[in-house]
Amino acid sequence: MATARQRLLKEFKEVSRSKPNDTGITLIPNEANLFIWKALLKGPTETPFEGGTFELSINVPEQYPLVPPTVRFRTKIFHPNVHFKTGEICLDILKTAWSPAWTLHSVCQAVMALMSDPAADSPLNCDAGNLLRGGDQRGYNSMAKMYTIDYASSSAAKAAA
C-alpha cells in the first residue's frame, strides 16, 4: 500500500503541474482518500462527444500500479464500449493489457482515444455497436450527440447539480 500511495502522490504532483486545457483531462483526487479519483474529460474534437464534459470515477486498488484501477463513466454516454447502466468501460489496458507503466492520466488519454475510435466488435452497449457494425455512422453519431447534449453539456451538468 505504501508503494501505491507514493506512486499516487507522484502522479498527483505531475497532474498538478499540467494544464487541463492542454490535454482536455482534469484529474481530481478525493481529499479524504487518495485511492479515489475523479476525472473530467472534454469530448474529443470532431466526434459526437465534442462540446461535452464527461466525468469518470477512478478507484485505485492497494496493489496499484501492479493492478489496474477500476474506471467507469459517471456521465451517461452512448458508446459501444461503455455499459449503458454501469458506465463500465471495455478497454484492454484496464483488463488484460495493463502495465505498471500506465498512469491515471495515460488511462484517461486511452479512454479519450476510445471515444474517438470506438471498437464496435466488442460492445458493452449492443445498440451502439450494432449501429456501427451495420454501417449506420450517421445514426450512431446522432444518438451519441443527443446523449452528449442531454448528459454532458454545461446545461445538463447544471440541471444534475
Calpha distance 132→144 (Å, rounded):
12
Q: Residue 10 has which C-alpha cell?
A: 507522484
Q: Residue 132 has which C-alpha cell?
A: 456501427
Beta-bridge partner residues of 142 = none
Tell me if residue 126 is catalytic: no
One-letter identity of residue 29: P
Calpha distance 103→74 (Å, rounded):
20
Answer for the pair 40, 108: CB distance below 8 angstroms, yes or no.
Answer: no
- Percentages helix, strand, coil for the chain, rounded to the nearest 5? 40, 15, 40
Asked whether the CA dihedral 65, 109, 9, 34 is positive or negative, the reply is: negative
Question: Which residue is catalytic, options 90, 104, 132, 156?
Answer: 90
The residues carrying an active-site annotation are: 90
